[in-house]
Structure 1
Amino acid sequence: MTKASDVEQELWLFGYGSLIWKPPPHFDLRVPGYVEGYVRRFWQASEDHRGTPEAPGRVVTLIDRAHWETLVDEHSDASATTWGAAYRIPGPHVAEVREYLDIREINGYSIQYTPFHVSRSFAASHNLPAPINCLVYVGLPDNPQFVGPQDAQLLAEHIVRSRGPSGENKDYLYGLDRSLLELGEGSEDEHVHDLARRCREIEGRSSDSSVIGSELRRVGSTDEQEETEK
């Protein structure tokens, strides 16, 4: 039986990148839905999972929408909502999961909390608070791995060439694009979908793309080989 003290200590975590399809350990509920006030972009360098220090790959981060509106972005349209998945971590496992996430998300990400809105189809069959206050890892613009706006075609070419200890950068992109489409109506991210389309076109034109970052760093455990979030 769940104790009241365990319920009070439970943790909700919002995943908007690899956490959507590679969830944290010990969660007892996965909830599709969205947050507001952010824009998801492939503007975070990855030196530890989808690239190397010598040749960083690219992964997603969330950007405060008010700040994003001051930037020049080739993908100038962005939905008012950022879809992903929220995970409920029971109280007895929170400390262990936080330690795991601090390793997985260490490459430039900071902790924030944000309201998470459950998708209508899921909310209809579950009694959940509305909204849910979720922990989220965000690569802020002042972190050393933040790359900022990039030419979409050059970014796609970079992603196709990059790889790291967790595998090829393009597989991270394709996994995110596919997982977002599976979350429900309105969950597609045009920035992610356009980059995936461009990468597939690049692959189609050349079956002999050179791979940068082939000298991979050794990491300490399987858990540490999970790509950054996202």
Structure 2
Amino acid sequence: MHPSGDDEYVWGVAYHIVPDKVKEVKGYLDVREINGYSIQHTAFHPADRGRADIDCTVYIGMPDNPQFLGALDPQAVALKINESRGPSGENREYLLNLEHALISLSSDSHDEHISDLARRIRQMVPPHRSAAGDAKALPTMQRISSTEEQEEVEKDA
């Protein structure tokens, strides 16, 4: 059972960032995650019960974020993921890699929502992108300090 009394876990991996790289890594993550995610701090409970909890910074999609769409039809979500690409690459590949990573963590780790979306994605044809379309689809990453600023950047694109 989870230390909070919940019997539901959210599985993931915590990374220790060496002190001289914190600013660089945080800057990269802030660029990659700021549109749609909010910075939160939470306790991470290692699967190894002999290890102490770790205070972690996480990026979480909160319901009050303007990018949060709420509950959607899983097939519509899968279609959007299949057709979308961001600065880090194809969203479908990200999802499939995420599912694999979650399954690899532990025999107990899984996320039925992620697995359901991955099953749907595997049944879809990946989008064909031309070399010119690839360049346009992957803008240069830049630091965005707010959702409002990101929306202005997207309007200009």
TM bin, normalised by shorter chain, reads 0.7 to 0.9
Cα shift at 1:87: 1.0
Q: 2:31 aligns with which of 83, 103, 112?
A: 103
AA aligned to 1:137 is: Y
Deviation at 1:210, TM superposition (A): 6.6
Once the 2 structures are TM-superposed, how far is the Cα of residue 217 of structure 1 from its aligned partner? 4.9
2:118 aligned counterpart, secondary structure: helix
Q: Are residues 1:91 and 2:13 paired?
A: no
Q: Secondary structure at the match of 1:179?
A: helix
Q: RMSD over aligned Cα, in angstroms? A: 3.1
8 Å Cα contact 2:78-2:120 kept in structure 1: yes
User: Is the contact made by 2:40 and 2:60 (CA closer than 8 Å) also made in structure 1?
Assistant: yes
Please state how far the C-alpha of 1:100 moved relative to its aligned partner: 2.5
TM-score by length of 2: 0.72
User: Within 2, Cα distance between the matches of 1:140 and 1:90?
Assistant: 28
Instruction: Say whether the 8 Å CA contact 1:160–1:170 is kept in structure 2.
Output: yes
Tell me the alpha carbon deviations over residues 139-197 of structure 1, each in whole angstroms, 9 at most, x when there is no partner.
Answer: 22121211111111222122222223432221111010001001012111000001101
Give the structure 1 partner of residue 99 of structure 2: 177
SS in 2 for 1:144: coil
Moved over 6 A (4+): 34-37
Residues 131 and 191 of structure 1, relative CA distance in 2, 3 Å threshold: same
Gaps of 5+ in 1: 1-33, 38-64, 66-78, 225-230
Tell me how far 1:93 sits from its aligned partner. 2.9
1:52-201 correspondence to structure 2 within 5 Å? 80-120=8-48, 128=51, 130-201=52-123
Are residue 219 (structure 1) and residue 147 (structure 2) matched?
A: no
Offset at 1:113?
0.9
Q: Give distance in 2, aligned partners of 1:161 and 1:113.
A: 32
Contact in 1 for aligned 2:85/2:138 (Cα 8 Å): no
Distance 1:111 1:105, change over 3 A: same
Greater relative contact order (Cα < 8 A, sep 6+): 1
Residues 36/116 of structure 1: CA separation in 2 closer, same or farther (3 Å cut): farther
Q: Aligned AA for 1:99?
A: G
Residues 100 and 169 of structure 1, relative CA distance in 2, 3 Å threshold: closer
Higher relative helix content: 2
1:86 is aligned with what amino acid? A
1:133 Cα deviation from its structure 2 partner: 1.2
What are the equivalent positions in structure 2 for 1:7-86 lying under 5 Å apart?
A: 80-86=8-14
The verdict on how the C-alpha distance between 1:36 and 1:147 changes in structure 2, with shifts beyond 3 A counting, is: farther
State, as a whole percentage, how many aligned pairs show the same letter: 46
- What is the number of residues matched between the two proteins? 138
